[in-house]
Amino acid sequence: MKYIIYILLSFNLMTFTISAEETRQVDKHEHGVGELNIAVEGSTIEFEFMIPGADIVGFEYVAKNDEDIAKINQALKTFDDYTNIFTLPSNSLCELNGQKVALKEEDEHDEHEEHDEHEEHDEHEEHDEHAEHAEENHNEFYAKYSFECGNINAIKEVNFPYFATFTNSGELEVQFISNMGSTSFGVEGDKPLINTDGKI
Ligand SMILES: [Zn+2]
């Protein structure tokens, strides 16, 4: 199993085992609350973030101008270096071996079912009606990072520079799963870390 996971990650595929991405609807999130799933299996640890665009760039409408686009691209670039988001103890000897960063727009299918106008949506970005429609839009930043660790038990805490990196950030709701069981944490900027001692 581990071998298979490693191969998938090394090609950076999206067809990974536990992917909330498949089932999750972007518009179900709560602004100010980012979600993070951490899964430990053997010597691998995986981080999967789903964070409302409001918490990252301060808006969720479809980018309207160059400034919006620049903000989104800058945010994606920031996610590209995971140390902007979280850090692991260096003595855990964890090496990044898979990564995916994306901006997930609202599921078009869902919207499509409810709004007939949706088909025209993309073609009419300049029309005034678009702004109204856009206000209802949601999107979120999705980021997944996988590590192979030489000494995974040394991960006694995980720190989150995330809160300092993104000034619009709210809380992070963390679900942590290992073969010791599962735990959840609520993390905020005033104490940006989780204590995983004894949980791996
Ligand atoms: Zn939203």
* CA distances to 3, 91, 195 from 192, in Å: 33, 20, 10
CA 136 to chain centre: 21
Sign of torsion over alpha carbons 180, 2, 38, 43: positive
- Ligand 1 mean position to 47 CA, how many Å? 21
pLDDT digits (tens, 9 = 90+) for 123-160: 554 544 444 444 578 999 999 999 999 999 999 999 99
127 in any annotated domain:
no
- Ligand 1 mean position to 160 CA, how many Å? 22
- Ligand 1 mean position to 188 CA, how many Å? 19
167 in any annotated domain:
yes
Taking the model in full, what pTM does it have? 0.77
- Ligand 1 mean position to 46 CA, how many Å? 25
Mean pLDDT in residue range 72-88: 98
Mean pLDDT in residue range 7-34: 62
- Side-chain-facing half-sphere of 69: CA atoms under 13 Å: 3
- Ligand 1 mean position to 117 CA, how many Å? 21
154 in any annotated domain:
yes
Token pair for 24:
């999750």
Range of the domain at 39: 2-109+138-195
117 in any annotated domain:
no
Summary mean pLDDT of the chain: 83
Number of domains making up the chain: 1
